[in-house]
Each structure stands twice: as structure tokens, then as C-alpha cells.
Amino acid sequence: MRVGELAEREVAARLERPGLDLDTGPFVVRLETPIENLVEEVRFLYHDFPVVQDDGFVDFHVSISQPSGLRRWWRRQAVFRFDGAMPFEPLPFRMAVPMLEWSLNWCAATEAHQYVMIHSAVVERNGLTIILPGVTGSGKSTLCAALVHRGWRLLSDEFALIRPRDGRLVPWPRPISLKGRSIDVIRRLAPEFRVGSSVPNTEKGTVAHLQPPAESVRRANDTAAPTWIVFPTYQADTPTCLSPLPRARAFFRLADCSLNYELLGRRGFETLLQVMESCDAYDLTYGRLEEVLGLLDVLEPPKSAATSA
């Protein structure tokens, strides 16, 4: 059973109590919320995700609700809770949807240390995988969405989850976060994509989320071997430049983008070393999506790339 196969009323009832258990690939997430517009967005953005029917193990139990008292009605707020605790201050009520996505990112970043985690988008096609590390404003999410439009499978918009025992990438194909002008760019480029409502004036500007492709969600348990690491930088009206990066330098840049490299110590070092030994690395500066998409389409894989499932 998938979220989209449930009636809207049933989704709302489960989200209110006892929670809607979603199989997102590496994690089972229990979501609770009584907030009506958030219920609608969950049903839309997670349309193709399986619903876990039995009352089994849950990795993350999260809720987005309203505080009691005056704040429920005046200058309304949304509150995030993780396993009943409230790790953050409330946000304005209108930010409930991005709050959910940011909260799930936080859950993984603080709890999922069975993986080496890189702040990165990840896409795969024909067994070849691109890791796109980046900070906010680097253009990684826009590029990720454009590559998915081009036929690449979405593994993640936010995390490269690297399995230490074999260096493979574990998909977490949640909604792609689009910001500012990239929302309209992707809507024009890929009108078939389904984009949720825009939320203005967040700390990241205007934010909207793109529904992940059904095929990417269906293959959420299909791991992939890393092939390329591409560090993107978006600069408007700049010619596209893809330049090889020495592996030693790429290693340290990748470690800088990791959320738990230092915490994992030797295991983190050995895992990233294993990844770097199988990958070619590049610096990418781009100003036009059309140019960079064509360039990435014809990248030659390194001889050491492992493409077996």
C-alpha cells in the first residue's frame, strides 16, 4: 500500500494518531501532524512511498504540531518534536512544510551514523553515479532536479549515505528542495514535474519541494557504486567549466562536506578512501543548465568504476 492509494481522509486520520509509518528506503519514518496544509503536502510529496502496515520498528518518530495556549491562535507557530522531545524553537506556522523536510534531514544527520554521510545530491544512470557535494547556493539541488529530468535516477537531494562495509551509496529519494529562482527554472525546464506549494520568506528564501519520481522511490533499496564526484558552483552568465580534481584534494573536500567524518574516525577515513579510489573527481562551474547537462551526459567513467549491482 502506498500513500497515494489511501483516501485523503484516511491519510489525515493516520497522521493525527497514531502516525503514518513511511518506508523511505533506509529509514522507516513515523509522521504525526494535525496541521491541514501539511497533511495535504505529505500526501502530495510522498504519494509513491510505501506505507508500513504493521506496528514494527520505527527509525524516526517525528511530529509537527501547534503549541498549546495563545500561540495556537495569535502569531501561530509550528513545533517539531523528535521522540517526544523538542530540539528546536518553534517556527512560524506557514513554515510547517519546509520544517518537516529540514527536521527529517536533522534526524538523519544526528542519528544515522551507520553511514558515512556527505551533504550532497546523488543521481545514478545505467549503473554510473554522480555525487554532487555542495553548500546552500552552490546549485546542487537545481542541477540534481535537471539531471533527474534528463533520465538520471534520484538517490538523494541532501545526503550521500555511504555504506562503510563496501562503499556503496544507499538511496534516500525524498522530495527535492528548490529555492528562489530555481523553482521557476525547473518548472520551465520540466513542466511534467510535480512541485508543491511555495513558502516565501524562510531563512533560505522562497522554498518549494519537488515530488520524487515514482521509479526512484520504487528503487529506494537499490544501492549504487560511486563513479564521479563533482563539486558544483553556480555562477550566473558564466561559461561552463569542468576541470579534473586531484584525488587527494578531492578527498579532503569530500571530508569537509561530511556530517560525521570526524565522529566515525578510522571507519570514516577508510570509507572515504575507498570511495575516492573508485571515482574521478571534478570541479564544476556553470551558468547555464543546458551546457552542463550535455557535458555530464558524456563523462567517461574511470577504469576502476564498479558498476555491478
pLDDT band at residue 223, thresholds of 50, 70 and 90? Answer: very high
Torsion of Cα atoms, 143 then 148 then 151 then 156, to 10°: 110
pLDDT digits (tens, 9 = 90+) for 82-114: 999 999 999 999 999 999 999 999 999 999 999
Which amino acid appears at position 92 of this protein? Answer: P
Work out the angle between the directed axes of helices 8-16 and 36-45 (0-180°, nearest 10).
Answer: 120
Per-residue cell: 57:
520498528
In which region does residue 27 sit, left (phi positive, over 0), alpha (psi from -120 to 50) or beta (all else)?
A: beta
- Dihedral pair phi/psi, residue 144, rounded to 5°: -60, -50
pLDDT digits (tens, 9 = 90+) for 232-291: 999 888 899 999 999 999 999 999 999 999 999 999 999 999 999 999 999 999 998 989
pTM: 0.93
Neighbours of 124 (CB within 10 A): 24
* 305 has a pLDDT exceeding 60: no
**Which residue is associated with the grid cell 549491482?**
309
What does the pLDDT average to over 17-26? 94
pLDDT digits (tens, 9 = 90+) for 129-179: 999 998 766 789 999 999 999 999 999 999 999 999 999 999 999 999 999
**Whole-number Cα distances in Å, 121 to 8, 43, 96, 262:** 31, 23, 23, 21
Name the strand (E) or helix (H) holding 278. helix 266-278
CA distance 292 to 272: 26
